[in-house]
Amino acid sequence: MRHEQQRRNGNGGRRAGGWCAVAALTALALTVSALAAAPPAGPSAGPPAPPSAAPSAPRAPEPLEDLGRPNKVHLAYFVPTDRQPTRAWREKITVLMTFVADLYRRDLHSHGYATRGLDVAFDADGRPAVHLVRAKHAAAHYNGDPDFTFMQQWRTVLPEVEAVLGGATENLLVIFAETYDDGPTRYEWRGGVALGCRFSASGGAGLFSAWILRDAFCAATVDEQLRLLADATPIPGRVALGSGRPNSTRFEFIEDGFGAAAHELGHAFGLPHDRRKEQRYIMGNGFRHLRRNFLEPPAGEPVGFSPDNARLLAHSRFLAETPDLEDTTPPTVTLDPPDGPLAPHATEVRLRGRVRDDRGLAAVLYVDPHADTVVGGADLTGGAAGDGAVPVLEADLDVRLPVRPPNDGPCRVRVLVIDRGGNIGSATAAYPKQ
C-alpha cells in the first residue's frame, strides 16, 4: 500500500506532497493509504493457497446504536451526475458499517478496553444517517478517466462532501463514492480507491469505492450479508486484490471491501501500519481475512489490532468513553541525540527522550518508517483510569527498538504520543550509520 502525504493549502484544497509511511497527525500533515495501488506483500513469494471451504455457523455483529457522544461518525454516499444510486444504498452502507463497528468494539474489548464502539450519527427516524450527496460533475471529473488517479478522487470528492456535512477537521467523514468504472482492469474495478486520513483529534476522513455496494457483495440485511460472506462462488473476470487470483471468490471481494473500511478508518484515527503479524493485524493485511471474526468455525485466528495500535485507538475521541474533550493541545516529544552512529547491519536502536502533556498522557507508539510498521509502544497513564484518576503529565522514554535501516541515509524512528484528549504529538529520531 502506498501513502501520500497531503497538505491543506490556504484555500482549503489539498495537494500531494512527499512520500510518508505513517497516518496523518494534524490538519497540516495527513496521510492517505491507497489499497488499489498494488497487491499486498505476503510472507512468501508463491501464489496464495485456494480459499478454504466456507464456514457454516455465522456470528452476527451487534447492531449500530446512537451512543450520544459528541464525536460522531458521519456517513455519505457520493453519486456523480452520470451515475444512479445503487439499490438499497442506505441499508447496504448501514450493514457494512455494522460489521466494521463490531470489529472495532469486540477487538478493543479483547484488549481489555471498555468501549461501546463507534458512534455513528443517527437520523430523527432512529436509523443511521446516510447522506446522499449528489455530485456537481460526471464521474470522470473525479476518477481521472482514463488515468484513474486515486489522489484526484481525494482532492475532488472530499471538498464536495465537506460542503454538505462539514469540514473533516471537525468531523469524521466516511464516504462511499460511485466513481469506479466497469471496464476491465488488473484488480477489482477501475477507479477503485480506499483512502484514510486523520486531520485532528476531532476529525478525519475515509473514502471508499462503491463497488463494494454491488448486490454481489453487499446486502441490505445482516443475515443476508453473513450468507454472502460465506459464499465462495467465483466472480468471473475479476481479481480481488487480497488473493491475486483470476475469478476470485465472492467472500474475497467482501473481505477486501469491508476490510478496507476498517483499515482506512484506522488511519483516520491516527494508526500507522503494523506489519509484525501481517496476516493477523488489521493495520497490516489482516483485514483481508475478516470473515474469521464472523463465521464459525473460523478459518484461522481472528483478526484484530496489535496491542500497541489498540492502546492508541482506545484513547481516540471516537472510541474512548471519557476522553478529556477540553484538552486541545497535543503532547510534546523531546528526543535525545543518538549515542553514536549505527554499526553496519544494526537491527536495533536505543531511543531516549521525554514526553509532556498539560492535562494527561495516555500512550506512546514507535514506528519504523522505512519498514512501514509499528515496532513498539507503551502505556503512559501509569495505571490511571477514570475521571478521578491523577493524570501523568511527564514520562521518560528509554527503549530499545528493532529496526530495518535503509540502504541509504539514516535510520529513523517515529514517535507518536497520544494524550487523554485524543491529541497526538510526534517527533522523529535519526540515527546516522557508520
Residue 174 sits in a domain whose CATH number is 3.40.390
pTM: 0.88
CB 433 within 8 A of CB 347: no
Q: What is the pLDDT tens value at each position of the chain, 434 positions in all?
A: 333 333 333 333 333 222 232 333 333 233 344 443 344 443 333 334 445 445 556 789 999 999 999 999 999 999 999 999 999 999 999 999 999 999 999 999 999 999 999 999 999 999 999 999 999 999 999 999 998 888 999 999 999 999 999 999 999 999 999 999 999 999 999 999 999 999 999 999 999 999 999 999 999 999 999 999 999 999 999 999 999 999 999 999 999 999 999 999 999 999 999 999 999 999 999 999 999 999 977 667 899 999 999 999 999 999 999 999 999 999 999 999 998 899 888 999 999 999 999 999 999 999 999 999 999 999 999 875 555 578 999 999 999 999 998 888 899 999 999 999 999 999 999 999 88
Of 282, 313, 344, which marks where a domain is finished? 313
- Give the Cβ contact number of residue 318 at 10 Å: 24
Residue 308 sits in the same domain as residue 337:
no
Residue 88 sits in the same domain as residue 180:
yes
Is residue 320 in some structural domain?
Answer: no
Is residue 322 in some structural domain?
Answer: no
In angstroms, the CA 104 to CA 313 distance is 9
Q: Which of 154, 261, 185, 161 is nearest to 217 (CA)?
A: 261
CB 260 within 8 A of CB 188: no
CB 427 within 8 A of CB 353: yes
pLDDT tens digits for range 229-264: 999 999 999 999 999 999 999 999 999 999 999 999
Residue 305 sits in the same domain as residue 349:
no
CB 267 within 8 A of CB 365: no
In angstroms, the CA 37 to CA 187 distance is 9
Is residue 324 in some structural domain?
Answer: no
Is residue 274 in some structural domain?
Answer: yes
Of 313, 340, 355, which marks where a domain is finished? 313
Is residue 28 in some structural domain?
Answer: yes
Q: Number of folded domains in the chain? A: 2
Residue 185 sits in the same domain as residue 288:
yes
Residue 58 sits in the same domain as residue 150:
yes
Of 283, 313, 343, which marks where a domain is finished? 313
Residue 309 sits in the same domain as residue 342:
no
Is residue 279 in some structural domain?
Answer: yes
Chain-centre distance for alpha carbon 377: 18
Residue 23 sits in the same domain as residue 108:
yes
Is residue 318 in some structural domain?
Answer: no
Is residue 228 left, alpha or beta, with left meaning phi > 0 and alpha meaning psi from -120 to 50?
Answer: alpha
For residue 168, give its domain range. 2-313
Residue 257 sits in the same domain as residue 137:
yes
Give the CATH number of the domain where residue 418 resides. 2.60.40.2470
Residue 278 sits in the same domain as residue 353:
no
Is residue 341 in some structural domain?
Answer: yes
Residue 97 sits in the same domain as residue 143:
yes
Residue 69 sits in the same domain as residue 184:
yes
- Give the Cβ contact number of residue 30 at 10 Å: 29
Residue 35 sits in the same domain as residue 110:
yes
